[in-house]
Amino acid sequence: MTMKILVPVKRVLDYNIKPRVAADGNGVDTQGAKMSMNPFDEIALEEAVRLREKGSASEVVAVSIGPQAAQDVLRTAMAMGADRAILVKTDQLLEPLAVAKILKIIIEREQPGLISMGKQAIDDDMNATGQMLAAMLSWPQATFASKVTVADNCAEVIREIDGGTEVISVPLPAVITADLRLNEPRYASLPNIMKARKKPLETIEADSLGVDLTPHLTILKVEEPSERKAGVIVKDIEELVSKLKTEAKVLP
Amino acid sequence: MTALVLIETEGGQLRQAARSAVTAARSFGDVDALVIGEGAEAASHLEGVRKVLHVTNLNHALAEPVAALLAQLASQYSHILAAASATGKNILPRLAGLLDVQPISDVIAIRDDATFVRPIYAGNALATVQSRDAIRILTVRGSSFDPAKDGNTAAPIETITAPDDSKNVRFIRVELSQSDRPELEAARIVISGGKGLKDAANFDRLLAPIADKLGAAIGASRAAVDAGFAPNEMQVGQTGKVVAPDLYIAAGLSGAIQHLAGMKDSRVIVAINLDPEAPIFKVADYGIIGDLFEVLPALEKAL
């Protein structure tokens, strides 16, 4: 099947690093911190690579929108199996709305049959880009996917919902957003990391796309949440239950 | 100003998170409620609801037709809200994409008509943002707003039809877990288990009797869900459910920041863990260092 899958990947503060609010109170300090591919995007990419390996797709293209350094996550994406990559370069911090607008233009140019992307980025936790992109393209969407089966120009998707799971079938082209349990992404092997260096990476200046990137939200303040204080270690269940009844008053 | 709230129902009943969304919406002015399929009657009794829009030609809240309908209605409203649930987060950003609006997810506080507080980085920071969009599209955290109660009067119910804009998406089936326990986000007491419970059988055997005695909901860490001890809908954390019960009992889970993001606003936290260094003790009001396989049965007996 000659279907192209496009996978947007975001460069974010590494999963294992504890975020610190920047001194200017306007964001989180990422200066010099380890940056990695958004974990949900890794899952989305893994799914795309598996679909190509199964013969359901012919090419996987990774796209990142961000500073020059975002090419590192694109190299990782290619080491994990993407065939080529596109960096849409900007030093501006973009909102999901602007990201969706840029992706729409790339998609119109690339004509993929499927967009596989993470359900949310672990930095702004907005969980919105995929849904907005689908709306702008007038495509169907299947969010929070935990299983994807592609056949007959449709994707059957099991979605994680609040009370359990839901199964829907979406005609392609469509946007699918990956939830945690869709798959377990592979590690890039050393030979594949070497090979990825030779794969094509195209750079496009975001400003050249004619998209209005003006933020719709102004960040007035970013602050640390109030910390909980550690309490006491009780010696046994009797003491615990007694404290829950008389001190915390959460048990009758 | 008038706000429209997309109300989620289950079996004709209002989900608690929908009630919280109504409370949040009332800070803007009048509130209309949009109900898909069953539940219009229940929504009409909500305190503060001016009118119920009842969509009769859809049985499932698929994102494509519901977002298209909301986009048609949008010009009458200053704010459009839903719970920050799987349904709310599926539909409202799509609506925002149709209207060229930057949606604001997981709102935990409303400062004024345009200014909202939301957690970022798994709740390790709180951002106060101001929207310059004419229509503000918000999903709100149920744990941050009191659920709206039923009032003494019933609001009028108006029947409306969603546009035929399914994009040929087919609903195939839904599998809801059956449980007599309270909804996780609405429960007054939650007991959550982690990898320390070792397998699915122990997870159930050790937690269920305590949950039954306390009338508690059962939650799980991501590790426990990934390992198959518990279904996905039980996951508490950054990408799962966010809960703030009166009492949260964390059994055999270490307390990764992604888990803390989903429960650290609980009123009282109890941690039970064998590892005294587990980060969960840093947020717990009461901790017990010990073997779950002894502590949990003892707890059940003591209740």
Per-residue pLDDT tens over the stretch B149-161: 999 999 999 999 9
Q: Is B300 on the interface with A (CB under 8 A)?
A: no
Across residues B30-42, what is the average pLDDT? 96
Of B105, B119, B225, which is closest to A128 when you measure between CB atoms? B105
Q: Is B69 on the interface with A (CB under 8 A)?
A: no
A141/B63 CB distance under 8 A: yes
Report the chain B residue with the minimal C-alpha distance to residue A183. B226
B181 domain-assigned: no
Residues paired with B214 in a beta bridge: none
Chain B hits for A230, CB-CB cut-off 8 Å, are 281-284
Q: Is B193 on the interface with A (CB under 8 A)?
A: no
Question: Is pLDDT above 70 for A19?
Answer: yes
Number of domains in chain B: 2
B268/A234 CB distance under 8 A: no
Per-residue pLDDT tens over the stretch A133-177: 999 999 999 999 999 999 999 999 999 998 899 999 999 999 999
Do B136 and B266 share a domain, yes or no? no
Question: Is pLDDT above 80 for B98?
Answer: yes
Chain A hits for B269, CB-CB cut-off 8 Å, are 228, 231
Name the CA dihedral angle for A106, B63, B226, B223, rounded to a multiple of 10 degrees.
90
Domain end (from B114, B141, B160) = B160
Across residues A79-83, what is the average pLDDT? 98
Do B150 and B79 share a domain, yes or no? yes
In total, chain A counts a number of residues equal to: 252
B178 domain-assigned: no
Specify the CATH number for the domain of residue B221: 3.40.50.1220
Nearest 5 degrees, angle CA A230-CA B241-CA A27?
A: 65
Contact partners, residue B201, CB within 8 Å, separation at least 6: none
Q: Which CATH number does the domain A4-246 belong to among 3.40.50.2030, 3.40.50.620, 3.30.230.10, 1.20.1290.10?
A: 3.40.50.620
Q: How far is A241 from chain B (nearest CA, A)?
A: 7
Question: Is pLDDT above 70 for A16?
Answer: yes
Across residues B98-124, what is the average pLDDT? 97
Contact B70, B55 (CB under 8 A): no
- The candidate with the shortest Cα–Cα distance to B272, out of B251, B242, B256, B298, is B251
Domain containing B117 equals 2-160
Contact partners, residue A180, CB within 8 Å, separation at least 6: A40, A43, A146, B222, B226, B239
Contact B160, B76 (CB under 8 A): no
Do B155 and B15 share a domain, yes or no? yes
Q: How far is B295 from chain A (nearest CA, A)?
A: 7
Rounded distance, CA A149 to CA A246, Å?
Answer: 54
Across residues B222-236, what is the average pLDDT? 95
Do B123 and B207 share a domain, yes or no? no
The crossing angle, in degrees rounded to 10, of helices B63-73 and A129-137 is 80
Alpha-carbon torsion (A17, A22, A26, A30), positive or negative: negative
B97/A124 CB distance under 8 A: no
CA B94 vs. chain centroid, Å, equals 19
- The candidate with the shortest Cα–Cα distance to B183, out of B95, B126, B107, B243, is B243
B266 domain-assigned: yes
| Helix residue ranges per DSSP H, chain A | 39-53, 71-80, 96-110, 129-137, 190-196, 237-246
Rounded distance, CA B73 to CA B32, Å?
Answer: 11
Q: Is A138 on the interface with B (CB under 8 A)?
A: yes
B174 domain-assigned: no
B166 domain-assigned: no
Specify the CATH number for the domain of residue B155: 3.40.50.620
Of A141, A164, A228, which is closest to B175 when you measure between CB atoms? A164
Do B298 and B194 share a domain, yes or no? yes
Contact B256, B221 (CB under 8 A): yes
B87 domain-assigned: yes
B279 domain-assigned: yes
pLDDT band at B179 (very low <50, low <70, confident <90, very high): confident
Q: How far is A193 from chain B (nearest CA, A)?
A: 28
pLDDT band at A1 (very low <50, low <70, confident <90, very high): low
Across residues B288-303, what is the average pLDDT? 96
A237/B299 CB distance under 8 A: yes
Across residues B188-205, what is the average pLDDT? 97
Across residues A46-58, what is the average pLDDT? 97
Model pLDDT, residue B161: 96
Q: Is A151 on the interface with B (CB under 8 A)?
A: no
Model pLDDT, residue A163: 85
Do B10 and B124 share a domain, yes or no? yes
Per-residue pLDDT tens over the stretch A188-200: 999 999 999 999 9
Rounded distance, CA B122 to CA B264, Å?
Answer: 11
Q: What mean pLDDT, rounded, does chain B reach?
A: 96
Q: Is A167 on the interface with B (CB under 8 A)?
A: yes
Provide φ and ψ at B182, rounded to 5°: -65, 160
Do B193 and B154 share a domain, yes or no? no
Query: Which two tokens mark B112?
Result: 């004024």
Contact partners, residue A149, CB within 8 Å, separation at least 6: A155, A156, A157
- B253 burial via Cβ count (<10 Å: 0-12, 13-18, 19+): buried
ipTM of the complex in this document: 0.96
Determine how β-strand B136-140 pairs with β-strand A35-37. unpaired
- B294 burial via Cβ count (<10 Å: 0-12, 13-18, 19+): exposed
* Helix (H) or strand (E) run with residue B40 in it: helix B40-44
A19/B124 CB distance under 8 A: yes
Contact partners, residue B79, CB within 8 Å, separation at least 6: B1, B2, B3, B4, B25, B28, B113, B135, B136, B137, B138
| Helix residue ranges per DSSP H, A54-189 | 71-80, 96-110, 129-137
Rounded distance, CA A219 to CA B143, Å?
Answer: 23
B171 domain-assigned: no
